[in-house]
Chains A and B, each alone.
Chain A
Amino acid sequence: MLTEALARLGRSGIGAIAGLGRASLLLVAMLGGLRELAPRPRLLLAQVYNIGVLSVLIIAVSGLFVGMVLSLQGYYVLAQFGASESLGIMVAASLVRELGPVVAALLVAGRAGSALTAEIGLMKATEQLSALEMMAVDPVRRILTPRFFGGFLAMPLLAAMFSALGVLGGWFVGVGLLGVDDGAFWSQMQAKLDFREDVVNGVIKSLVFGVVVTWIALFQGYDATPTSAGVSRATTRSVVHAALAVLGLDFILTALMFGG
Protein backbone atom coordinates (compact mmCIF):
# COMPACT_ATOMS: atom_id res chain seq x y z
CA MET A 1 0.00 0.00 0.00
CA LEU A 2 2.63 2.44 1.10
CA THR A 3 5.15 1.14 -1.38
CA GLU A 4 2.54 1.49 -4.13
CA ALA A 5 2.00 5.19 -3.23
CA LEU A 6 5.77 5.71 -3.13
CA ALA A 7 6.17 4.01 -6.49
CA ARG A 8 3.47 6.18 -8.00
CA LEU A 9 5.18 9.30 -6.68
CA GLY A 10 8.48 8.06 -8.08
CA ARG A 11 6.94 7.30 -11.46
CA SER A 12 5.45 10.78 -11.76
CA GLY A 13 8.74 12.34 -10.66
CA ILE A 14 10.74 10.34 -13.20
CA GLY A 15 8.13 11.15 -15.84
CA ALA A 16 8.40 14.88 -15.12
CA ILE A 17 12.20 14.84 -15.25
CA ALA A 18 12.20 12.76 -18.44
CA GLY A 19 9.76 15.22 -20.00
CA LEU A 20 12.01 18.12 -19.00
CA GLY A 21 14.93 16.33 -20.59
CA ARG A 22 13.03 15.71 -23.86
CA ALA A 23 11.93 19.36 -23.86
CA SER A 24 15.54 20.53 -23.40
CA LEU A 25 16.75 18.26 -26.21
CA LEU A 26 13.99 19.64 -28.43
CA LEU A 27 15.05 23.22 -27.60
CA VAL A 28 18.66 22.44 -28.53
CA ALA A 29 17.52 20.80 -31.77
CA MET A 30 15.31 23.79 -32.63
CA LEU A 31 18.15 26.24 -31.97
CA GLY A 32 20.37 24.06 -34.15
CA GLY A 33 17.95 24.62 -37.04
CA LEU A 34 18.69 28.34 -37.07
CA ARG A 35 21.44 27.89 -39.63
CA GLU A 36 19.06 26.20 -42.05
CA LEU A 37 16.38 28.82 -41.40
CA ALA A 38 18.63 31.70 -42.45
CA PRO A 39 18.49 30.98 -46.20
CA ARG A 40 14.70 30.43 -46.04
CA PRO A 41 13.26 33.60 -44.43
CA ARG A 42 9.88 32.87 -46.03
CA LEU A 43 9.27 30.02 -43.55
CA LEU A 44 9.83 32.46 -40.69
CA LEU A 45 7.64 35.08 -42.35
CA ALA A 46 4.68 32.71 -42.46
CA GLN A 47 5.05 31.98 -38.74
CA VAL A 48 5.40 35.64 -37.74
CA TYR A 49 2.15 36.07 -39.66
CA ASN A 50 0.46 33.15 -37.87
CA ILE A 51 1.62 34.02 -34.37
CA GLY A 52 2.03 37.78 -34.62
CA VAL A 53 -0.26 39.35 -37.19
CA LEU A 54 -3.23 37.12 -36.40
CA SER A 55 -2.89 37.93 -32.67
CA VAL A 56 -2.89 41.70 -33.18
CA LEU A 57 -6.65 42.10 -32.88
CA ILE A 58 -7.04 40.30 -29.55
CA ILE A 59 -3.89 42.02 -28.19
CA ALA A 60 -5.04 45.47 -29.29
CA VAL A 61 -8.56 45.15 -27.94
CA SER A 62 -7.43 43.59 -24.64
CA GLY A 63 -4.70 46.20 -24.17
CA LEU A 64 -7.11 49.03 -24.73
CA PHE A 65 -9.65 47.68 -22.27
CA VAL A 66 -7.09 46.72 -19.61
CA GLY A 67 -5.71 50.26 -19.75
CA MET A 68 -9.18 51.74 -19.48
CA VAL A 69 -10.10 49.58 -16.48
CA LEU A 70 -6.78 50.33 -14.76
CA SER A 71 -7.46 54.01 -15.21
CA LEU A 72 -10.98 53.79 -13.80
CA GLN A 73 -9.97 51.73 -10.78
CA GLY A 74 -6.74 53.63 -10.16
CA TYR A 75 -8.55 56.95 -10.26
CA TYR A 76 -10.96 55.76 -7.57
CA VAL A 77 -8.10 55.05 -5.13
CA LEU A 78 -5.83 57.95 -6.10
CA ALA A 79 -8.65 60.52 -5.87
CA GLN A 80 -9.13 59.60 -2.21
CA PHE A 81 -5.59 60.81 -1.53
CA GLY A 82 -5.92 63.83 -3.80
CA ALA A 83 -3.29 62.32 -6.06
CA SER A 84 -5.35 61.72 -9.19
CA GLU A 85 -2.63 63.52 -11.21
CA SER A 86 -0.43 60.45 -10.62
CA LEU A 87 -2.86 58.31 -12.60
CA GLY A 88 -0.49 58.32 -15.59
CA ILE A 89 2.35 56.81 -13.56
CA MET A 90 0.13 54.11 -12.15
CA VAL A 91 -1.35 53.08 -15.48
CA ALA A 92 1.93 53.21 -17.42
CA ALA A 93 4.11 51.55 -14.77
CA SER A 94 1.74 48.64 -14.22
CA LEU A 95 1.32 48.14 -17.97
CA VAL A 96 4.95 48.46 -19.03
CA ARG A 97 6.41 46.49 -16.12
CA GLU A 98 3.84 43.75 -15.56
CA LEU A 99 0.58 43.61 -17.40
CA GLY A 100 1.92 44.22 -20.90
CA PRO A 101 4.37 41.31 -20.99
CA VAL A 102 2.30 38.95 -18.79
CA VAL A 103 -1.17 39.41 -20.26
CA ALA A 104 0.19 39.49 -23.81
CA ALA A 105 2.01 36.20 -23.10
CA LEU A 106 -1.15 34.63 -21.64
CA LEU A 107 -3.18 35.76 -24.64
CA VAL A 108 -0.58 34.45 -27.09
CA ALA A 109 -0.46 31.14 -25.19
CA GLY A 110 -4.22 30.86 -25.55
CA ARG A 111 -4.54 32.05 -29.13
CA ALA A 112 -1.34 30.99 -30.88
CA GLY A 113 0.23 28.47 -28.48
CA SER A 114 -2.78 26.16 -28.46
CA ALA A 115 -2.95 26.36 -32.26
CA LEU A 116 0.75 25.46 -32.54
CA THR A 117 0.30 22.44 -30.25
CA ALA A 118 -2.74 21.20 -32.14
CA GLU A 119 -1.00 21.70 -35.49
CA ILE A 120 2.17 19.83 -34.52
CA GLY A 121 0.21 17.17 -32.65
CA LEU A 122 -2.01 16.50 -35.66
CA MET A 123 1.02 16.44 -37.95
CA LYS A 124 2.41 13.76 -35.69
CA ALA A 125 -0.90 11.85 -35.43
CA THR A 126 -1.36 11.85 -39.21
CA GLU A 127 2.29 10.81 -39.65
CA GLN A 128 3.24 13.90 -41.63
CA LEU A 129 6.32 14.32 -39.45
CA SER A 130 7.35 10.72 -40.17
CA ALA A 131 6.76 11.35 -43.87
CA LEU A 132 9.11 14.30 -43.77
CA GLU A 133 11.71 12.13 -42.06
CA MET A 134 11.26 9.53 -44.81
CA MET A 135 12.19 12.23 -47.31
CA ALA A 136 15.32 12.99 -45.26
CA VAL A 137 13.92 16.33 -44.07
CA ASP A 138 14.43 16.94 -40.37
CA PRO A 139 10.91 17.84 -39.11
CA VAL A 140 12.30 19.69 -36.07
CA ARG A 141 14.41 22.00 -38.20
CA ARG A 142 11.90 22.40 -41.01
CA ILE A 143 8.65 22.66 -39.03
CA LEU A 144 9.46 23.55 -35.44
CA THR A 145 12.39 25.97 -35.75
CA PRO A 146 10.52 28.60 -37.84
CA ARG A 147 7.57 28.47 -35.42
CA PHE A 148 9.86 28.87 -32.43
CA PHE A 149 11.61 31.93 -33.83
CA GLY A 150 8.33 33.35 -35.12
CA GLY A 151 7.00 33.32 -31.56
CA PHE A 152 10.27 34.67 -30.19
CA LEU A 153 10.12 37.66 -32.57
CA ALA A 154 6.40 38.32 -32.33
CA MET A 155 6.05 38.32 -28.53
CA PRO A 156 7.96 41.51 -27.62
CA LEU A 157 6.25 43.41 -30.42
CA LEU A 158 2.83 42.22 -29.27
CA ALA A 159 3.63 43.10 -25.66
CA ALA A 160 4.77 46.58 -26.71
CA MET A 161 1.53 47.07 -28.65
CA PHE A 162 -0.45 45.90 -25.63
CA SER A 163 1.31 48.36 -23.31
CA ALA A 164 1.14 51.27 -25.75
CA LEU A 165 -2.56 50.80 -26.44
CA GLY A 166 -3.18 50.29 -22.72
CA VAL A 167 -1.55 53.64 -21.95
CA LEU A 168 -3.69 55.26 -24.65
CA GLY A 169 -6.81 53.58 -23.23
CA GLY A 170 -5.87 54.78 -19.75
CA TRP A 171 -5.30 58.26 -21.12
CA PHE A 172 -8.69 58.24 -22.84
CA VAL A 173 -10.53 57.31 -19.63
CA GLY A 174 -8.39 59.38 -17.26
CA VAL A 175 -8.09 62.57 -19.26
CA GLY A 176 -11.13 62.27 -21.49
CA LEU A 177 -13.77 60.97 -19.08
CA LEU A 178 -12.52 61.55 -15.53
CA GLY A 179 -11.00 64.99 -16.08
CA VAL A 180 -7.39 64.38 -15.04
CA ASP A 181 -5.13 67.13 -16.35
CA ASP A 182 -3.61 66.16 -19.70
CA GLY A 183 -0.20 67.73 -19.02
CA ALA A 184 0.12 66.23 -15.54
CA PHE A 185 -0.87 62.78 -16.83
CA TRP A 186 2.02 62.68 -19.34
CA SER A 187 4.63 64.71 -17.47
CA GLN A 188 4.39 62.72 -14.24
CA MET A 189 4.51 59.52 -16.25
CA GLN A 190 7.66 60.65 -18.05
CA ALA A 191 9.27 61.87 -14.83
CA LYS A 192 8.78 58.58 -13.00
CA LEU A 193 9.18 55.93 -15.69
CA ASP A 194 12.74 55.13 -16.60
CA PHE A 195 13.70 53.80 -20.01
CA ARG A 196 16.27 51.30 -18.75
CA GLU A 197 14.44 50.29 -15.56
CA ASP A 198 10.93 49.99 -16.90
CA VAL A 199 10.77 49.76 -20.70
CA VAL A 200 13.87 47.61 -21.26
CA ASN A 201 12.99 45.29 -18.38
CA GLY A 202 9.50 44.89 -19.82
CA VAL A 203 10.95 43.95 -23.20
CA ILE A 204 13.34 41.44 -21.57
CA LYS A 205 10.37 39.88 -19.80
CA SER A 206 8.40 39.55 -23.01
CA LEU A 207 11.40 37.99 -24.80
CA VAL A 208 11.65 35.36 -22.04
CA PHE A 209 7.90 34.73 -22.19
CA GLY A 210 8.06 34.43 -25.97
CA VAL A 211 10.66 31.67 -25.69
CA VAL A 212 8.79 29.87 -22.90
CA VAL A 213 5.31 30.01 -24.45
CA THR A 214 6.35 28.83 -27.92
CA TRP A 215 8.74 26.25 -26.49
CA ILE A 216 6.04 24.71 -24.30
CA ALA A 217 3.49 24.80 -27.12
CA LEU A 218 5.84 23.13 -29.62
CA PHE A 219 7.07 20.55 -27.11
CA GLN A 220 3.55 19.57 -26.09
CA GLY A 221 2.62 19.10 -29.75
CA TYR A 222 5.78 17.20 -30.60
CA ASP A 223 5.52 15.02 -27.49
CA ALA A 224 1.77 14.37 -27.81
CA THR A 225 0.35 10.86 -27.90
CA PRO A 226 -0.53 10.54 -31.61
CA THR A 227 -4.27 10.04 -31.14
CA SER A 228 -7.23 12.43 -31.10
CA ALA A 229 -7.44 12.22 -27.33
CA GLY A 230 -3.66 12.69 -27.04
CA VAL A 231 -3.70 15.87 -29.17
CA SER A 232 -6.63 17.23 -27.18
CA ARG A 233 -4.82 16.57 -23.88
CA ALA A 234 -1.63 18.09 -25.24
CA THR A 235 -3.47 21.27 -26.28
CA THR A 236 -4.93 21.67 -22.81
CA ARG A 237 -1.56 21.00 -21.20
CA SER A 238 0.09 23.51 -23.52
CA VAL A 239 -2.14 26.38 -22.34
CA VAL A 240 -2.06 25.37 -18.67
CA HIS A 241 1.69 24.84 -18.52
CA ALA A 242 2.42 28.01 -20.48
CA ALA A 243 0.19 30.10 -18.20
CA LEU A 244 1.76 28.65 -15.06
CA ALA A 245 5.28 29.07 -16.43
CA VAL A 246 4.62 32.69 -17.42
CA LEU A 247 3.19 33.63 -14.04
CA GLY A 248 5.91 31.79 -12.11
CA LEU A 249 8.72 33.21 -14.22
CA ASP A 250 7.19 36.67 -13.93
CA PHE A 251 7.60 36.53 -10.17
CA ILE A 252 11.22 35.40 -10.47
CA LEU A 253 12.05 38.01 -13.12
CA THR A 254 10.35 40.76 -11.14
CA ALA A 255 12.25 39.77 -8.01
CA LEU A 256 15.53 39.84 -9.97
CA MET A 257 14.81 43.12 -11.78
CA PHE A 258 12.99 45.25 -9.26
CA GLY A 259 13.56 43.42 -5.98
CA GLY A 260 17.14 44.47 -5.34
Chain B
Amino acid sequence: MGTTRTMEILVGAFMAAGFVALFFLSMRVSNLSAGGDGNGYALTARFDNIGSLKVRAPVSMAGVRLGRVEAIGFDQDAYQAVVTMRIDAAYDRLPTDTFANIYTAGLLGEQYVGLDPGGSPDYLHDGDQIEHTQSALVLEQMVGQFLFSKAQEGSQ
Protein backbone atom coordinates (compact mmCIF):
# COMPACT_ATOMS: atom_id res chain seq x y z
CA MET B 1 0.00 0.00 0.00
CA GLY B 2 2.79 2.36 0.99
CA THR B 3 4.76 1.80 -2.19
CA THR B 4 1.71 2.35 -4.39
CA ARG B 5 1.06 5.61 -2.57
CA THR B 6 4.68 6.74 -3.07
CA MET B 7 4.45 5.80 -6.72
CA GLU B 8 1.22 7.75 -7.12
CA ILE B 9 2.78 10.82 -5.53
CA LEU B 10 5.90 10.55 -7.70
CA VAL B 11 3.86 10.13 -10.90
CA GLY B 12 1.75 13.11 -9.84
CA ALA B 13 4.87 15.18 -9.27
CA PHE B 14 6.25 14.02 -12.63
CA MET B 15 3.12 15.07 -14.50
CA ALA B 16 2.97 18.38 -12.63
CA ALA B 17 6.62 19.06 -13.51
CA GLY B 18 5.92 18.20 -17.16
CA PHE B 19 3.00 20.59 -17.32
CA VAL B 20 4.99 23.32 -15.56
CA ALA B 21 7.68 22.87 -18.22
CA LEU B 22 5.07 23.13 -21.00
CA PHE B 23 3.59 26.21 -19.34
CA PHE B 24 7.06 27.74 -19.09
CA LEU B 25 7.70 27.07 -22.77
CA SER B 26 4.35 28.60 -23.76
CA MET B 27 4.42 31.66 -21.56
CA ARG B 28 8.04 32.53 -20.95
CA VAL B 29 9.81 31.19 -24.03
CA SER B 30 7.23 31.75 -26.77
CA ASN B 31 4.91 34.68 -27.20
CA LEU B 32 1.59 33.18 -26.09
CA SER B 33 1.24 35.68 -23.23
CA ALA B 34 2.12 38.66 -25.42
CA GLY B 35 -0.30 37.52 -28.09
CA GLY B 36 -3.63 39.20 -27.71
CA ASP B 37 -4.42 37.21 -30.85
CA GLY B 38 -8.05 37.02 -31.77
CA ASN B 39 -9.07 40.01 -29.71
CA GLY B 40 -8.38 43.58 -30.64
CA TYR B 41 -9.51 45.12 -33.90
CA ALA B 42 -8.43 44.89 -37.52
CA LEU B 43 -7.17 47.72 -39.70
CA THR B 44 -6.13 47.48 -43.33
CA ALA B 45 -3.64 49.55 -45.26
CA ARG B 46 -2.60 49.51 -48.90
CA PHE B 47 1.03 49.79 -49.86
CA ASP B 48 2.66 50.06 -53.29
CA ASN B 49 5.52 47.92 -52.02
CA ILE B 50 5.83 46.14 -48.68
CA GLY B 51 9.45 45.06 -49.13
CA SER B 52 9.97 41.92 -47.09
CA LEU B 53 7.25 42.54 -44.50
CA LYS B 54 6.05 39.27 -42.99
CA VAL B 55 2.88 38.11 -41.28
CA ARG B 56 3.22 38.54 -37.47
CA ALA B 57 5.60 41.47 -37.90
CA PRO B 58 5.05 44.09 -35.19
CA VAL B 59 2.88 47.17 -35.69
CA SER B 60 4.16 49.96 -33.52
CA MET B 61 3.68 53.63 -32.77
CA ALA B 62 6.37 55.69 -31.04
CA GLY B 63 8.34 52.47 -30.73
CA VAL B 64 5.67 50.73 -28.68
CA ARG B 65 4.14 47.56 -30.13
CA LEU B 66 0.39 48.05 -30.59
CA GLY B 67 -0.36 44.92 -32.58
CA ARG B 68 0.79 42.57 -35.29
CA VAL B 69 0.42 42.10 -39.02
CA GLU B 70 -2.31 39.51 -39.41
CA ALA B 71 -2.47 38.93 -43.14
CA ILE B 72 -0.89 40.17 -46.33
CA GLY B 73 -2.90 40.06 -49.52
CA PHE B 74 -2.64 41.38 -53.06
CA ASP B 75 -5.20 43.54 -54.86
CA GLN B 76 -5.17 42.51 -58.52
CA ASP B 77 -7.02 45.63 -59.65
CA ALA B 78 -4.82 48.25 -58.03
CA TYR B 79 -1.65 46.11 -58.02
CA GLN B 80 -1.13 46.96 -54.38
CA ALA B 81 -0.36 44.95 -51.28
CA VAL B 82 -3.19 44.87 -48.74
CA VAL B 83 -1.86 44.52 -45.21
CA THR B 84 -4.31 43.58 -42.46
CA MET B 85 -3.15 44.52 -38.97
CA ARG B 86 -4.65 43.48 -35.67
CA ILE B 87 -4.33 46.20 -33.05
CA ASP B 88 -4.73 45.36 -29.35
CA ALA B 89 -8.12 46.46 -28.04
CA ALA B 90 -6.48 48.70 -25.43
CA TYR B 91 -5.22 51.05 -28.15
CA ASP B 92 -8.54 52.24 -29.56
CA ARG B 93 -7.80 55.92 -30.09
CA LEU B 94 -5.79 56.05 -33.30
CA PRO B 95 -6.82 59.10 -35.39
CA THR B 96 -8.41 58.41 -38.78
CA ASP B 97 -5.57 60.24 -40.55
CA THR B 98 -2.91 57.99 -39.02
CA PHE B 99 0.05 57.49 -41.34
CA ALA B 100 1.42 53.97 -41.92
CA ASN B 101 5.04 53.42 -42.95
CA ILE B 102 7.11 50.32 -43.41
CA TYR B 103 10.38 50.68 -41.57
CA THR B 104 13.35 48.41 -41.06
CA ALA B 105 14.55 47.63 -37.54
CA GLY B 106 18.28 48.26 -37.64
CA LEU B 107 20.37 48.08 -40.78
CA LEU B 108 19.60 44.47 -41.65
CA GLY B 109 16.74 43.82 -39.24
CA GLU B 110 13.25 42.70 -40.08
CA GLN B 111 10.62 45.10 -41.34
CA TYR B 112 7.70 46.38 -39.31
CA VAL B 113 4.77 48.74 -39.73
CA GLY B 114 5.27 52.06 -37.97
CA LEU B 115 2.21 54.23 -37.36
CA ASP B 116 2.45 58.02 -37.02
CA PRO B 117 -0.57 59.73 -35.45
CA GLY B 118 -2.49 62.38 -37.37
CA GLY B 119 -4.52 65.18 -35.87
CA SER B 120 -8.06 64.07 -36.60
CA PRO B 121 -10.54 64.08 -33.71
CA ASP B 122 -12.14 60.87 -35.05
CA TYR B 123 -10.72 57.45 -34.28
CA LEU B 124 -10.17 54.36 -36.42
CA HIS B 125 -12.54 51.44 -35.83
CA ASP B 126 -12.58 47.75 -36.66
CA GLY B 127 -12.30 47.17 -40.40
CA ASP B 128 -11.24 50.73 -41.26
CA GLN B 129 -8.55 51.42 -43.79
CA ILE B 130 -5.51 53.59 -43.19
CA GLU B 131 -5.44 55.97 -46.18
CA HIS B 132 -1.98 57.46 -45.86
CA THR B 133 0.78 54.97 -46.42
CA GLN B 134 4.37 54.98 -47.50
CA SER B 135 6.07 52.01 -49.09
CA ALA B 136 9.08 50.17 -47.83
CA LEU B 137 12.43 51.55 -48.85
CA VAL B 138 14.02 49.02 -51.15
CA LEU B 139 17.78 49.30 -51.06
CA GLU B 140 18.29 48.46 -54.74
CA GLN B 141 15.88 51.21 -55.82
CA MET B 142 17.61 53.75 -53.62
CA VAL B 143 21.03 52.82 -54.94
CA GLY B 144 19.64 52.91 -58.49
CA GLN B 145 18.17 56.39 -58.00
CA PHE B 146 21.39 57.61 -56.47
CA LEU B 147 23.48 56.33 -59.37
CA PHE B 148 21.00 57.76 -61.87
CA SER B 149 21.11 61.24 -60.33
CA LYS B 150 24.91 61.13 -60.13
CA ALA B 151 25.09 60.16 -63.79
CA GLN B 152 22.81 63.08 -64.70
CA GLU B 153 25.01 65.49 -62.73
CA GLY B 154 28.06 64.18 -64.59
CA SER B 155 26.53 64.67 -68.04
CA GLN B 156 25.60 68.28 -67.38
Chain A contact residues, CB within 8 Å of chain B: 42, 45-46, 48-49, 52-53, 56, 92, 96, 154, 156-158, 160-161, 163-165, 167, 186, 189-191, 193-195, 198-199, 202-203
Could you show 8 A-B contacts with beta carbons less than 8 Å apart?
A: A45-B7, A49-B14, A96-B29, A165-B21, A189-B29, A190-B28, A194-B30, A199-B29
The 8 A-B residue pairs with the shortest CB-CB distance, nearest first, are A157-B18, A164-B21, A160-B21, A195-B32, A193-B30, A195-B30, A160-B22, A161-B21
Whether B22 pairs with A198 at a CB distance below 8 angstroms is no
Q: Is the interface of A mostly helix, strand, loop or mixed?
A: helix
Cβ < 8 Å to A, chain B residues 1-47: 4, 7-8, 10-11, 13-15, 17-22, 24-26, 28-35
Whether B25 pairs with A160 at a CB distance below 8 angstroms is yes
A42 to B7, CA, bound (A): 10
Whether A163 pairs with B10 at a CB distance below 8 angstroms is no
| In the complex, chain A residues whose CB is within 8 Å of the CB of B13 | 53
| In the complex, chain A residues whose CB is within 8 Å of the CB of B21 | 157, 160-161, 163-165
A198 to B25, CA, bound (A): 10
Whether B14 pairs with A157 at a CB distance below 8 angstroms is yes
User: Is the C-beta of B56 less than 8 angstroms from some C-beta in chain A?
Assistant: yes
Q: Is the interface of B mostly helix, strand, loop or mixed?
A: helix
Interface size class of B (residues with CB under 8 A): 20 to 34
Whether A160 pairs with B18 at a CB distance below 8 angstroms is yes
Whether B29 pairs with A52 at a CB distance below 8 angstroms is no
Question: A45-B8, A164-B25 are known contacts. Are A157 and B30 too (CB-CB below 8 A)?
Answer: no
A167 to B15, CA, bound (A): 20
Whether B29 pairs with A157 at a CB distance below 8 angstroms is no
A186 to B11, CA, bound (A): 31
**Shortest CB distance A95–B (Å):** 9
Whether A52 pairs with B25 at a CB distance below 8 angstroms is no
Question: A186-B28, A199-B30 are known contacts. Are A194 and B56 too (CB-CB below 8 A)?
Answer: yes
**Shortest CB distance A155–B (Å):** 10
A49 to B15, CA, bound (A): 10
Whether B10 pairs with A195 at a CB distance below 8 angstroms is no
A233 to B15, CA, bound (A): 33
A118 to B21, CA, bound (A): 31
Whether B11 pairs with A53 at a CB distance below 8 angstroms is yes
| In the complex, chain A residues whose CB is within 8 Å of the CB of B7 | 45-46, 49
| In the complex, chain B residues whose CB is within 8 Å of the CB of A193 | 29-31
Whether A190 pairs with B11 at a CB distance below 8 angstroms is no
Question: A48-B14, A49-B11, A53-B11 are known contacts. Are A163 and B25 too (CB-CB below 8 A)?
Answer: yes
Task: Given A45-B7, A194-B56, A195-B26, output 16 extra A-B contacts at Cβ < 8 Å.
Answer: A45-B8, A49-B14, A53-B14, A92-B29, A154-B14, A156-B18, A157-B14, A158-B18, A160-B21, A163-B25, A164-B21, A164-B22, A167-B24, A191-B31, A199-B26, A202-B25
Question: A190-B29, A195-B30, A203-B22 are known contacts. Are A42 and B17 too (CB-CB below 8 A)?
Answer: no
